A and B are shown apart, each in its own frame.
Chain A
Amino acid sequence: MPVFYGTEVASPLMLGTAQYPSPAILAEAFRASGAGIATVSLRREAGGGQDFLRLVESLGARLLPNTAGCHSAREAVTTAQMARELLGTDWIKLEVIGHADLLAPDVFQLVEAARTLSADGFKVFPYCTEDLSVCERLLDAGCEVLMPWGAPIGSGLGLGNPHGLRALRAAFPDVPLVVDAGIGLPSHAAAAMEMGFDAVLLNTAVARAGDPVAMARAMAQAVEAGRAAHGADPMEPREMAVPSTPVIGKAFLA
């Protein structure tokens, strides 16, 4: 199972807590998913925060607060400081958004915020692109986990750049890697795990499914299948057919 900053989590599935039809379905989806980590945001308290806090603390998953919606390193750092105090965790999913339509990471501000937070004792989970030099800089900044996107947040498009993700896996064999964002189907989650990713983080694919609980279960099965397949050392694909049935011994009937 994945190990992040020395802590082993119970499942390679990390699940968000937004957009569910109801709190009860959220809780049931988490039970069905077996997710080891639940992401939460920080938002202005307008009366609902206290009940929500009790709900997420009852899920049995470790909480990973995010800095969603932050557009500068400064905002993200302040949000992380507030999250650490509120939730009593130094884990932070660091998002610094650079492009409004694609919710693409601002990788420059991201590296700056990661450096500041790591120096302040945070364990940073950066939402990043699969760019090798950006990822290298994040590791230099103190990150011990990388979370490249599969596709834009909430798009459900799957793994847009499988070659880039494979290259990242090969470049950093010892760094825990998570595909964060863009997963829409269990097959996308399984594909990430088959590549050797340590975990996947998704939210909309489950929360916005017609039956979130059934989809949560399907995602759990997919990550497990993908993880087992990676461990089983898959065959190399090839361009031409090779008979699987032995040719020798075939009766001569022509």
Chain B
Amino acid sequence: MKLTINGEPRDVDAATVAEALAALGMADARVATALNGNFVAATLRGAARLSPGDALEIVAPMQGG
């Protein structure tokens, strides 16, 4: 499915946010997700279905002031 992941166009074999993370090798990573600007809690990633063109953001803690 064609998605925009962290701002980049990607073609990922996934129907849910959880499957997208697995396809990207981040199934066990400590990350947080938002789909089309809305927070998707870790417990809800399996139920969060993807549609073509969706924007998925995957973030982690980084340097900050």
Contact = CB atoms under 8 A, between A and B. Distances in A.
Secondary structure call for the A interface: mixed
Most buried by A among B7, B34, B38, B65: B65
Given A45-B58, A78-B37, A52 B32 contact: no
Interface in B42-65: 42, 57-65
A48 interface: yes
A66 B64 contact: yes
Nearest to A64: B64
A86 B31 contact: yes
24 contacts: A19-B65, A39-B64, A39-B65, A40-B61, A40-B64, A41-B64, A42-B59, A44-B58, A44-B59, A45-B6, A45-B26, A45-B59, A48-B60, A49-B29, A49-B31, A49-B61, A49-B62, A52-B62, A63-B61, A68-B64, A68-B65, A74-B37, A82-B33, A82-B59
A56 interface: yes
A86 B37 contact: no
Contacts of A68: 64-65
A220 B61 CA distance: 25
Interface in A164-217: 181, 201, 203-204
Interface residues of A, number: 38
Contacts of A82: 32-34, 39, 59
List the 3 closest pairs (A to B, CB-CB), nearest first. Answer: A49-B60, A41-B64, A16-B65
Interface string B13-31: 0000000000000100111
A63 B64 CA distance: 11
Contacts of B1: none
Nearest to B31: A45
Given A82-B39, A85-B42, A18 B63 contact: yes
Given A48-B62, A63-B61, 16 more contacts: A17-B64, A18-B64, A42-B64, A43-B59, A43-B60, A46-B6, A48-B60, A49-B30, A53-B61, A78-B38, A78-B39, A82-B59, A83-B32, A83-B61, A153-B65, A203-B65
Interface string A1-45: 000000000000000111110000000000000000001111111
A50 B60 contact: yes
Interface string A45-72: 1101110110010000001011010000
Contact of B63 (A17, A44, A74): A17
Contact of B61 (A19, A42, A201, A204): A42
Contact of A78 (B34, B62, B63): B34
A45 B32 CA distance: 9
